[in-house]
Amino acid sequence: MTKRILLIEDFPVIQTLYGDALRNHNYDVDVVGDGAEALVKVAEQTYDFVLVDLLLPHVNGIQFLEKFTQRPAETKVIILTDFSEPKTEKQAHELGISAYLIKAENTPSELIEKLEKFK
């Protein structure tokens, strides 16, 4: 069954690169540019993965996690960011994420390998 991914990322180049790579690996991908739009999307449908950038306009990644508390059991929330700050990473883990990934260390194909390992 095709897995659904919500990519929350405001940087157009990253939206294109990660979005296209995921689609090429048969993921059904929705892309939004800020946390507020993402909250609307997750209320409308269930995703297998939600990939969240931290630094977003309007509603940032942490605020999104704080509001997205009613998560289906099968939805895995993964932070995908360039912001590596221990305090923020700890806060994100306390909000129930499955992984905290740094973009510079996780190219699209590396990200796909990691997603495949989630059961």
Residues near other proteins (CB under 8 A): 10-11, 13-14, 16-18, 20-21, 24, 54-58, 60-63, 81-85, 87-88, 91, 102-104, 107-110
**DSSP assignment letter at 2:** P
- Decide: helix, strand or coil at residue 58: coil
In terms of CB distance, is 72 or 96 closer to other proteins?
A: 96
Q: How far is the CB of 49 from other proteins (least distance, A)?
A: 17
Does the CA dihedral 107-81-27-111 come out positive or negative?
Answer: positive
Q: What is the DSSP letter of 43?
A: H
Q: Shortest distance, CB of residue 57 to other proteins, whole angstroms?
A: 5
